[in-house]
Chains A and B, each alone.
Chain A
Amino acid sequence: MIKLENVSKTYRMGSVEVRALQDVSLAVEQGEMMALVGRSGSGKSTMMNILGCLDIPTAGSYLLDGEEVTHLKDDRLAEIRNRKVGFVFQTYNLLPRLTAIANVELPLLYGNGRQGRKRSMAALDRVGLAHRARHRPVELSGGEQQRVGIARALVKQPALLLADEPTGNLDSGASASIMGTLQRLNRDEGITIIVVTHERDIAAHTRRIVTLSDGAIITDEPVLSPLDATEAERLGEDGS
């Protein structure tokens, strides 16, 4: 359902050509939970931008949920992002002046968002934050903010949930809790999740690890016994 074929991405920085991705091919099935790892400069971010339809490849083709998105213009890409991709960011990227529920509602504004409030509330409930709906981001802990971020990513029922270093700004307790949430959503609701990270132990929560180096996939291996964090989610972020 996600299919990258011989994808290359070349940037121009002045007169220098930077080849961020070279001839990458990758297939991810529906319901998979995968980690994309690599050091900085490995092409990880470029790969994520292409997977998330924020950018298009210079060569090769990208099929997302059966749709060819390789050559789309900006506004068509925006439409695809709106319908098919849910983003979870390292810095949460919530709008500070909006309440949690208004933040979750954001993707619905740009589609034909009917019953916005109801759907947003349901999404918040799925990450266990329905009781914090009226709070602004500053009134929430880091872990809670990230849950709002996940709810926002879920609200349009995306084909792909793309999490970029989702635990990068969180302590270990909250990190485990967030990973638990992602695992539960993947296991119980069958949502396809790609976690981009540079931390091996975060990647170990997924069932497949793809490693990038110098713009190419160097390893692609299954995780035989993934760490289970669903218990940590149930206990809450301080682990008590």
Chain B
Amino acid sequence: MTPLMVVATALSSLGSNKLRASLTLLGIVIGVSAVISLMSVGRGAQEAITSSIESLGTNLLFVRPGATTQGGIAGAQGSAATLTLEDAEALVDPIFAPSVLAVAPELRTGGQVVAGRENASTQIVGVTPEYETVRNFPVESGQFISDIHVENRSLVAVLGSQVADKLFDLRDPVGQFVRINGRQFTVIGVLESQGSGLQGLLDDQILVPITTVYYRLASERTAQGGVSVQTINVQVASADEMDAATAQISTLLRLRHRINGEDDFSISSQQETLETLEETTDTFVLFLGAIAGISLLVGGIGIMNIMLVSVTERTREIGIRKAMGAKRRDILFHFVTEATLLSIGGGGIGVLLGILLSRLADGWTLGTQTFNTTFSGDIAVLALVVSAAIGLFFGIYPAMRAARLHPIEALRHE
């Protein structure tokens, strides 16, 4: 039998029970379109996260203090207070650290903010003026924290857009007062919104001078006695100089801290964060795909089910075909082809439906979340291959049962 004849025979027998064939097809269609649309949503989310991090600039390094050791027990990374404001300032050194363009130290603390009858619990971030450019936090109105504010430990605050909305609603917060942990601050500016998604978290914070946090809000003293910082954001001159900058920073800090053995700080890059995040989101996408894959599997079981029924119903036909000279292989091909046609057909329709669904879902807003979907051909190919494989896998057992039937018994079957 030529392949064309095998396919024609399979189509004609599928056609003899159209309702059953289309319902079986539907199982695969739902499975494949679920895989495609869910994975597109996952990919979209992944891309949104990645691009929002990339928008921060990939030439950022983060210097954090090392872990504390108390009685031989190591604490978490960054728990020690070994980095100071002076350390940060020392990193801007054109001779010993030519790759470092700018630094922006920060010191965080939690705080209760009150404005009139409104109040909010948020992150208070102590920063220097460089923070605006290094972390790309432009002000929407008012001004950013200045060197004088840092020097004077001024009680001034720049509000994240979300905090501003919460406390002042539609009124202009600039020039108004807020109380942070009981102290009165003047609002000097409001930040531009950083956008939706993960970046939106950055809108829920208040920037104040780093010295103000250190002296007036929190009280973490360093061994050296300077103003301690939690993170030094380092802007590197270019993305190619990341390794050089890391080495320079490391050397400078080891000298300043007089370290011979283990570093009391750690340096990580935006790239590393991105990679970690990508790993996480990859898992997320795969997880979504796996959930949808279950429905594809159920569709495959549907095929097997219907093929088993079909083999039983068509026992006599199998007997007739065998009496006419069909070999085991011929019968096997008949049934495997039917199963595979069902799954590939379902897969094809499912891919189209999946693409349609993910197009429809693109830009769709649910609550505060906006779906971004990214469809890519590899998902479609994957879904098609998997559905074809499912057809083969679930079709082979019924087909083997059919092929093994003895012609005499099959002919006798009523």
Contacts and interface: CB of A to CB of B under 8 A. Distances in A.
A106 B411 CA distance: 16
A72 interface: no
Interface string B1-37: 1000100010011001000000000000000000000
Contact of B1 (A55, A75, A109): A109
Contacts of A89: 411
A75 B330 CA distance: 10
Interface in B311-336: 316-317, 319-330
A52 B323 contact: yes
Interface string A71-86: 0001100110111000
A82 B322 CA distance: 9
Given A75-B329, A93-B316, A95-B317, A107 B324 contact: yes
Contact of A79 (B12, B13, B325): B325
Contacts of B9: 109
In this complex, the interface size class of chain B, counting residues with CB under 8 Å from chain A, is 20 to 34
Given A93-B411, A109-B9, A75 B328 contact: yes
B42 interface: no
A226 interface: no
A97 B12 contact: yes
Interface string A96-126: 0110000000110111000000000000000
Given A54-B407, A55-B408, A93-B323, 18 more contacts: A52-B323, A74-B327, A74-B328, A75-B329, A78-B322, A78-B327, A79-B325, A79-B327, A83-B325, A87-B324, A93-B316, A93-B411, A97-B16, A106-B320, A106-B321, A106-B324, A107-B325, A109-B1
A49 B316 contact: no
A74 B316 CA distance: 18
Contacts of A49: 408
A191 B211 CA distance: 112
A81 B16 contact: no
Contact of B324 (A55, A82, A97): A82
Q: Counting chain A CB atoms within 10 Å of each CB, which of B1, B322, B325, B330 scores highest?
A: B325
Given A93-B316, A109-B1, A110-B330, A54 B323 contact: yes
Nearest to B323: A87
Contacts of A97: 12-13, 16
Interface of B: 1, 5, 9, 12-13, 16, 316-317, 319-330, 407-408, 411
Contacts of B5: 109
Nearest to B17: A97
Interface string A201-235: 00000000000000000000000000000000000
Contact of B325 (A93, A95, A98, A111): A111
Contacts of B319: 93
Contacts of A106: 320-321, 324
13 contacts: A75-B327, A79-B327, A81-B323, A81-B324, A82-B324, A93-B411, A95-B317, A95-B320, A98-B12, A109-B9, A110-B1, A110-B330, A111-B325
Interface of A: 49, 52, 54-55, 74-75, 78-79, 81-83, 87, 89, 93, 95, 97-98, 106-107, 109-111, 152
A50 to B, nearest CB: 10
A49 B329 CA distance: 22
B252 to A, nearest CB: 81
Contacts of B321: 106, 110
A89 to B, nearest CB: 8
A60 B320 CA distance: 27
Nearest to B411: A93
A131 to B, nearest CB: 23
Contacts of B325: 78-79, 81-83, 107, 110-111
Given A97-B13, A97-B16, A110 B327 contact: yes
Q: Counting chain B CB atoms within 10 Å of each CB, which of A75, A78, A93 scores highest?
A: A78
Nearest to B9: A109
Nearest to A116: B5
A54 B408 contact: yes
A93 B412 CA distance: 11
A55 B78 CA distance: 83
B320 A93 contact: yes
A192 B295 CA distance: 58
A54 B406 CA distance: 9
A98 B320 CA distance: 13
A87 B319 CA distance: 12
A174 to B, nearest CB: 22
Contacts of A75: 327-329
Contacts of A93: 316, 319-320, 323, 411
A49 B407 CA distance: 10
